[in-house]
Structure formats: structure tokens, C-alpha cells
């Protein structure tokens, strides 16, 4: 071992010397690469600039390994995940978990508290009862919903930071659903990993609903992102140049079912136990993808008036709410998308 | 081998049941590899004991950090110290733990500490012997990553040291702790698919197995899996898990190995193969066939157990039984006679493409989460683990001899 250690130290010293030498060399030209990966029930993509394909492939591989790791940690579809273990066991007593999972739950409960329950990861049984887990869609009876009430409610989750434990105070197994925050959490972890790898220009997408931009493409001010107008398919309500920020969108345009001519959305108001009505789309820009993911749900669930109050003192969070009947509300959103015709959207710089 | 065994009389007088089992197993690697199901259930049950357990980790790289995450899910566990020659690992470990872990650049300084209840070793394979043996000799219980050791001699020394120093050693063959694999293999051992004579293991990926390197001088340190100095390649890093399951199912260790491999895709200076094919022979003509490739992931990671009455498919998430058509069955006389037809059915030789019968279990937990929790249970209670050093020796025999056969281009008889 002595010999091996010395050799390893020598390698490290050589590395330091080589790193010093590299400073004076011209950086190789950067090329753009793109890769796709299925995870968390959707399609993750990465666009990144590196010097060569092999480097891009290795880094994209590491990035998607990280996505898979977070999926294995948080998926409520996988009984082997840490979140599923907590869902099963925390009814009978405090469950010790790892710091990462604890931080995820802590942040989830933070937004539940801040939004007075508009955001709530305990809605899993609701999605199940309304048929969203199996792509069918059904309307549960009032009695069914009433029976679920004791299995719901973020305030039933007690976190103990000192012991890193989770305990369900209602004594019931719960179905924690990371659907409104997990993809953002994964994107944040990947972004951190890419920065550790020295990547200064990359764009991450989790199914198009949560996006994150590291830096900007060479010679550009940011990564262009179009926010569609759900009331006018094919048109854009705002174009953003994203840089070192995330953008998350919640909408009823992808996951819903129609019964008797009525559209039922997959985003729930946890307090009414029913799908949200009247809102078409919310987009949120925030430095944290975890937060923008959660806050896009908050904006979707709250009334526009409540959203205005909620986001008013959060100037670093930019929100664009699009409701039925051409309702539009922009809070700290760059430009003035609500007053402009959708075909004349401007490019804005939320990072400025 | 024999001369390393402790004197049996002294041994039995002085040692606990733990070390007695280890010593018997030195002669026969599988003699005591399976604790009772009741004991296994105790080890894998959710932990309620919160007694503080202080762990040191040698080698907190990617796998080491994953182990730490799992250990931190066990009540009372704290990572108390870490050792690594690559300083960047310490900041990563601190991030995983959420607190600053005292660090050592020399693993011996970690072993000198008096405040550790056990040590986790997740260093490159070629260093296992150099790290595990001093850890046991200095009185630490050890959770050691697979493969047990780079050489058979080191692997045997680890088994002997576990007994000699009365320490608990658990090898990182976490699939021994997978609830669905345990449940499925218990049914196989009760005869559900008849006599199992062949096992096929596939571990196919589509990536170059490289880790990004911040500086070329760190290539061999970070991508150690690609260089023979510290690595036995795919046979060890992936195949060892499957070989362990084959040993478990067959209740034996391999008696001969033949192997092939090449670099078919990644001509990038690596030394270890990017595809391997191994055949391990077991007593009574039984065979384990392992293939791994790194440029096509269609097969993924899966095992197939083939028995005279059916097959079992094991994956990272589930287990599924398939049954052979009955060869003959009792029949009642048919008063209506037989209706003739002209059909010809070639399907008998076609692969079966229908559904199987999944193994139903109540709790499907991540195997590493269960294995780490079980190790802490063993440390707290002084119990022999499910995946002992001798379990590790069993798969190491397959790995090391298969690699030797690959290098020699000939079949190698395995001495146990």
C-alpha cells in the first residue's frame, strides 16, 4: 500500500503540474452535443458544449446516471426507492433517512408550509383515486374521497432534523408523490454535477416541463426558451433567454382526461381533493429547479389573487400564469407578455 | 491453506460462534454461508436500535458515497472518519453526509483511531487486501466492497483474519439481501423449477465505462477499473455479483473456469476488456455462463436459472418464474374420440414470449439499503452476516480464476 499510495500522490502532484501547464494553452473549440435519456416517466435531454464527442459522451453519461440515481431514490413507482420505504414505514415510528432524502422532504414541506398546503407531496392517493397513475381517468365518489382524507396532508409529516427522521403523525402509511418537485430536484443535482465537471455551457430538460440553463451557448446571452400560449396552440406567449436559471411549467395540456365534455387536470388542489379548475398553464423562473418545479404547482393551485400575494415578496422568482378565458398574470416576469399579442413576444433577460 | 488454519482445539475453546463458523469455512468456502431464514429476517428487519455506531470509510469514491448514503439510513450511524489519496473525495463526502468528516490521507491513520466501531472499505480491487487485512488486524469490523480480493491468497488471508481476530466481515454482495432474490431462491431450493443445472448471467451496458477525469495525470486513479494493476475488469466489477448468486444456488464454488474477452469498441488505451465471456464449471456437470458487453444494453443486467421444470429470471427489480410444459400428465379416457386435423405446430422450439409468474413480496427494498442495515445489526449484536468473508471467497474464486483463464487462453482448474 505504501508504494501504491506514493504512486497515487505522485499522480496527484503531476496533475497539479499539468494543470498549471494547461493555463497557458489555448482552449480547444467547443462543439455542441445532444443526448436523450428516459427516466422518471419522461424524457430527459442534455445539450452541452465540450471540446470533443468522447468528453461529451462521458459527461452526459454521468449526468444521466445521476438522474437514474435520483429516480431510484425518490420514485413512488419503485418499491425499492427510499421514498417508498418512508411511505411504508413512517406510520409506525420515526424512520431515519439519508441527508439527501431528508433535504428533499424538508424542501417539500417548506413549500407546503409557505403555500398553506397548495403544494403537497401527500397527494399520491388522490392521483390514484382519480385514475392518473394508470392513464385511465375516473371520478371517485365523495365517500371514496372522504375515506382518503386521513391518508393526506403534509402537516402529518414530522421531520426531526437532529435525528434525520421522518414520522407520519396520523399513524397511516402515506403515498408520497414527488411528481411536482422530483424532476426539479434531479435537474439541480445534475447541474451541480456538470459544474463540478467544469461544464460552463449546457441546457437540461426534464420532459420539457423543467428546464435549466448553465451559462449560455458560446457568443450568446442565454439559452432561448419559448413559453407556449396554451389558448392558441402553435403560438408563443413569451421568449426568454435563460442563463444560470431554471424554468418550470405546469399545464393541463399533457396529462388530463375528459368526461362528459369536462376536462379533468392532473394537478390537484390538495384542500378540495379535486383537480384544479380554470388554470391552463403556469411558468416559473427561479435559480433553483427544485423550487421552480414546486412553485409552478403553487401558482397553478392558488387563485390569481393569492398568487399575487404569495409571489409579491419573492422578487427572484418570476411567474407567468395563464388561465381560461384569456386570463394572464405576470409577476416579476420580464417584459409584458400579458399585454402583448402572442405573435409579438420579445426576448428578455431574466438574469440581468 | 491448511497451515493457516488455527489450532482447532484452541480455537473452539477460545472463540465465539462467529469465529468458529469462519474457521470451518476456511476449509470449505460454503460450509456456513447461509444463516437460517429467521436469522436473516432479524438482520434485514427495519432497525429500531439507535445505539451510536461510528464508521470510518476508506475510499469514499462513487460507490463509497453510495454506501454512506445507505449507512446513514440506519438509526445511530455517523461517519466519523474518512481516508483517501484523492483529496476531492472529502468535499464530496461532506456533501453526502451534511457535515464535515475528519479526513486522513493515509488509511493507517484512520485505522489508528480509537473512536470507530467499524470500517467501510470501498477502494479499488487491487488494494482490498492491503486495506482489509490491516483493518481486521487492528481490531475493526469491516464492510468490504466486492470482489473480496485481487488474489486468491489475499482472499484466503481475509477469511483467516476474520476468524483469528474475531471480527465481523461483510462482503458487498448486496443481492444476498434483495428481498425478491431471497424469496425466489428459497423457492428454487424447494424444487420449484426442478434441478437447476445451468445459470446464465448477462450484464450488458452501452457506455464506455469511463469516468470524466479532471486532469490526464489522474486517469489511472479515477479510471482504475480500466487498468489491470488494480482491476480484474468486467469479470470482477459486474460478474462477481452473478457468480455469487450461482454459488448460492448451486451450493458450491466453481471447480474450473474458462474465459474469453477482447476490446471490441473502446480502443482508448484501456487494458481491461470491454466484453467478456466466462464459463464456470460446478460439480455434477453444472455450468454458470456469464457475458458482459459495453456497447449494447439490450439484455441489461439479468440472470436466468434453468431447471428441469422451469426457469427463473432475476433482475435488479424483480424475479419471475416460467414453467416448462409438462412432459406427461394423467388423463381420463375421452369417450368422444379425437378429432383429426392437418395442423402442424412448430412452436415447441420457439422461445416462450408470454408472461411469467412474478414473485410476490410484501417489501421490495433496495438491496444495498438492506445490506448496510444488516451489517450494522451484526456489529451491534455480534452476529455472523449473511454475506460473510467466505461468501466473498466463493465468488472471488470464480472471478480470479476466470480472469486467469482469460489471460492464459485455457481452462483453469480451481483449487479450493
Distance from CA of A78 to the nearest CA of B (A): 8
Cβ within 8 Å, pair B207-A19: no
Q: HSE (CB half, 13 Å, CA atoms) of B20?
A: 8
At A196, list the grid cell.
Answer: 463540478
pLDDT per position as a tens digit, A173-206: 899 999 999 999 999 999 999 999 999 999 999 9
**Candidate from A80, A96, A99 with C-beta closest to B96:** A99
- Composition of chain B by helix, strand, coil, percent to 5: 40, 20, 40
Strand partners, A211: A205, A247
Write the ipTM: 0.80
What pLDDT is stored for residue B12 in this prediction? 30
H helices, E strands: number in chain A = 9, 18
Q: Which CATH architecture has domain B2-175+367-388?
A: 3-Layer(aba) Sandwich (3.40)
Domains with residue ranges and CATH for chain A: 27-76+177-220 (3.10.520.10), 82-176 (1.10.3980.10), 221-253+277-348 (3.10.520.10)
Domain boundaries, chain B: 2-175+367-388, 179-363+400-413
3-state secondary structure of B290: strand
Confidence of residue A22 (pLDDT cuts 50, 70, 90): very low
3-state secondary structure of B351: coil
Cβ within 8 Å, pair B212-A57: no
Cβ within 8 Å, pair B131-A8: no
- Pick from A2, A6, A11 the residue to mutate for testing the B interface (most B CBs within 10 Å): A11
Over 60: is that where the pLDDT of A59 sits? Answer: yes
DSSP state of B127: G
Cβ within 8 Å, pair B218-A81: no
Task: Give A19's contacts in chain B (Cβ within 8 Å).
Answer: 215
Tell me how long chain B is.
Answer: 416
Average predicted confidence (pLDDT) for chain B? 90
Percent of chain A past pLDDT 90, that is, above it, reads 69
At B285, list the grid cell.
Answer: 456437470
Task: Give A22's contacts in chain B (Cβ within 8 Å).
Answer: 215
Over 90: is that where the pLDDT of A122 sits? Answer: yes
| Distance between CA atoms of residues B60 and B372, nearest Å | 15
Assessment of whether the complete model's pTM goes beyond 0.90: no
Percent of chain B past pLDDT 70, that is, above it, reads 89
Over 70: is that where the pLDDT of B25 sits? Answer: no
pLDDT per position as a tens digit, A276-300: 998 999 999 999 999 999 999 999 9
- Beta-carbon contacts of B199 under 8 Å, excluding residues fewer than 6 positions away, are B242, B245, B246, B249, B250, B287, B288, B289, B303, B304, B305, B306
The domain made up of B179-363+400-413 has a fold known as: Dihydrodipicolinate Reductase; domain 2 (3.30.360)
What pLDDT is stored for residue A340 in this prediction? 52
Mean pLDDT of A112-140: 88
Considering only alpha carbons, which residue of chain A is nearest residue B221? Answer: A8
CB neighbour class for B361 (10 Å; exposed up to 12, middle 13-18, buried from 19): middle
| Distance between CA atoms of residues A292 and A211, nearest Å | 9
Confidence of residue A7 (pLDDT cuts 50, 70, 90): low
Cβ within 8 Å, pair B85-A18: no
Confidence of residue B20 (pLDDT cuts 50, 70, 90): very low
Task: Give A57's contacts in chain B (Cβ within 8 Å).
Answer: 207-208
Cβ within 8 Å, pair B107-A1: yes
pLDDT per position as a tens digit, B300-322: 999 999 999 999 999 999 999 99
CB pairs under 8 A between A and B: 99
Task: Give B46's contacts in chain A (Cβ within 8 Å).
Answer: 89, 95
Amino acid at each position: 500500500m505504501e508504494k501504491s499510495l506514493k504512486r497515487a500522490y505522485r499522480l496527484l502532484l503531476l496533475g497539479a503540474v499539468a494543470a498549471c501547464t494547461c493555463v497557458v494553452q489555448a482552449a480547444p473549440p467547443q462543439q455542441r452535443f445532444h443526448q436523450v435519456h428516459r427516466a422518471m416517466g419522461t424524457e430527459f435531454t442534455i445539450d452541452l458544449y465540450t471540446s470533443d464527442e468522447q468528453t461529451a459522451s462521458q459527461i452526459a453519461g454521468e449526468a444521466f446516471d445521476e438522474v437514474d440515481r435520483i429516480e431510484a431514490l425518490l420514485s413512488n413507482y419503485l418499491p425499492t426507492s427510499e421514498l417508498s420505504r418512508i411511505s411504508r414505514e413512517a406510520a409506525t415510528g420515526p424512520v431515519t433517512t439519508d441527508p439527501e432524502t431528508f433535504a428533499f422532504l424538508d424542501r417539500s414541506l417548506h413549500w407546503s408550509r409557505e403555500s398553506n398546503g397548495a403544494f403537497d407531496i401527500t397527494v399520491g392517493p388522490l392521483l390514484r383515486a382519480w385514475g392518473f397513475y394508470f392513464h385511465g381517468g375516473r371520478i371517485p365518489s365523495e365517500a371514496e374521497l372522504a375515506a382518503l382524507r386521513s391518508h393526506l396532508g403534509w402537516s402529518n409529516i414530522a421531520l426531526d432534523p437532529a435525528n434525520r427522521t421522518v414520522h407520519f403523525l396520523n399513524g397511516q402509511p402515506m403515498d408520497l408523490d414527488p411528481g411536482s418537485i422530483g424532476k426539479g430536484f434531479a435537474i439541480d443535482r445534475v447541474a451541480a454535477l456538470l459544474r463540478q465537471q467544469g461544464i460552463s455551457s449546457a441546457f437540461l430538460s426534464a420532459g420539457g416541463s423543467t428546464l435549466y440553463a448553465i451559462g449560455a451557448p458560446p457568443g450568446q446571452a442565454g439559452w432561448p426558451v419559448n413559453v407556449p400560449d396554451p389558448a392558441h396552440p402553435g403560438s408563443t406567449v413569451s421568449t426568454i433567454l435563460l442563463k444560470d436559471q431554471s424554468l418550470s411549467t405546469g399545464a393541463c395540456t399533457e396529462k388530463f382526461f375528459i368526461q362528459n365534455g369536462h376536462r379533468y387536470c392532473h394537478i390537484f388542489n390538495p384542500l378540495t381533493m379535486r383537480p384544479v379548475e380554470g388554470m391552463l398553464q403556469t411558468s416559473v423562473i427561479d435559480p433553483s429547479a427544485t423550487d421552480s418545479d414546486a412553485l409552478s404547482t403553487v401558482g397553478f393551485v392558488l387563485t390569481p389573487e393569492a398568487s399575487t400575494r404569495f409571489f409579491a415578496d419573492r422578487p427572484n422568482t418570476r411567474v407567468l400564469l395563464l388561465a381560461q378565458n384569456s386570463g394572464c398574470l405576470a409577476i416579476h416576469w420580464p417584459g409584458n407578455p400579458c399585454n402583448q399579442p402572442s405573435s409579438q413576444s420579445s426576448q428578455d433577460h431574466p438574469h440581468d | 491453506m491448511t497451515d493457516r488454519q488455527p489450532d482447532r482445539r484452541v480455537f473452539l475453546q477460545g472463540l465465539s460462534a462467529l469465529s468458529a463458523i469462519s474457521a470451518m469455512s476456511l476449509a470449505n468456502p460454503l460450509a456456513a454461508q447461509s444463516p437460517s431464514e429467521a436469522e436473516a429476517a432479524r438482520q434485514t428487519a427495519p432497525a429500531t436500535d439507535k445505539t451510536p455506531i461510528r464508521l470510518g470509510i476508506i475510499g469514499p469514491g462513487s460507490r463509497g458515497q453510495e454506501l454512506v448514503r445507505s449507512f446513514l439510513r440506519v438509526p445511530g450511524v455517523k461517519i466519523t472518519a474518512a481516508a483517501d489519496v484523492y483529496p476531492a473525495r472529502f468535499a464530496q463526502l461532506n456533501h453526502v453526509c451534511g457535515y464535515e468528516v475528519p479526513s486522513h490521507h493515509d488509511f493507517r491513520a484512520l485505522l489508528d483511531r480509537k473512536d470507530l466501531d467499524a470500517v467501510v472499505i470501498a477502494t479499488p480491487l487491487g488494494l482490498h487486501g492491503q486495506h482489509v487485512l490491516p483493518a481486521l488486524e487492528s481490531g475493526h469490523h469491516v464492510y468490504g466492497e466486492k470482489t473480496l480480493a485481487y488474489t486468491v491468497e489475499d482472499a484466503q488471508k481475509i477469511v483467516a483474519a476474520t476468524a483469528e481476530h474475531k471480527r465481523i466481515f461483510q462482503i458487498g454482495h448486496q443481492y444476498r439481501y434483495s428481498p425478491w432474490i431471497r424469496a425466489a431462491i428459497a423457492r428454487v431450493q424447494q424444487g420449484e423449477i426442478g434441478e437447476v443445472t445451468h445459470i446464465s448471467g448477462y450484464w450488458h451496458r452501452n457506455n464506455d465505462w469511463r469516468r470524466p477525469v479532471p486532469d490526464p495525470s489522474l486517469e489511472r486513479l479515477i479510471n482504475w477499473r480500466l487498468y489491470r494493476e488494480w482491476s480484474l475488469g468486467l469479470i470482477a466489477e459486474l460478474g462477481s455479483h452473478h457468480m455469487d448468486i450461482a454459488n448460492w444456488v448451486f451450493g458450491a464454488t466453481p471447480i474450473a473456469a474458462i474465459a474469453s474477452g477482447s476490446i471490441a469498441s473502446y480502443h482508448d488505451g484501456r487494458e481491461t476488456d470491454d466484453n467478456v465471456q466466462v464459463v464456470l464449471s460446478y460439480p455434477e456437470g453444472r455450468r454458470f455462463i456469464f457475458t458482459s458487453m459495453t456497447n449494447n444494453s439490450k439484455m441489461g443486467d439479468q440472470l436466468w436459472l434453468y431447471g428441469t421444470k422451469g426457469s427463473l429470471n432475476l433482475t435488479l427489480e424483480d424475479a419471475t418464474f416460467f414453467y416448462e410444459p409438462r412432459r406427461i400428465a394423467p388423463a381420463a379416457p375421452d369417450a368422444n374420440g379425437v378429432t383429426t386435423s392437418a395442423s402442424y405446430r412448430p412452436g415447441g422450439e420457439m422461445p416462450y414470449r408470454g408472461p411469467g409468474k412474478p414473485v410476490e413480496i410484501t417489501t421490495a427494498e433496495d438491496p444495498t439499503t438492506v445490506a448496510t442495515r444488516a451489517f450494522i445489526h451484526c456489529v451491534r449484536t455480534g452476529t455472523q452476516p449473511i454475506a460473510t468473508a467466505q461468501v466473498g471467497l466463493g465468488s472471488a474464486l470464480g472471478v480470479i480464476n476466470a480472469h486467469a483463464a482469460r489471460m492464459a487462453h485455457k481452462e483453469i482448474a480451481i483449487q479450493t
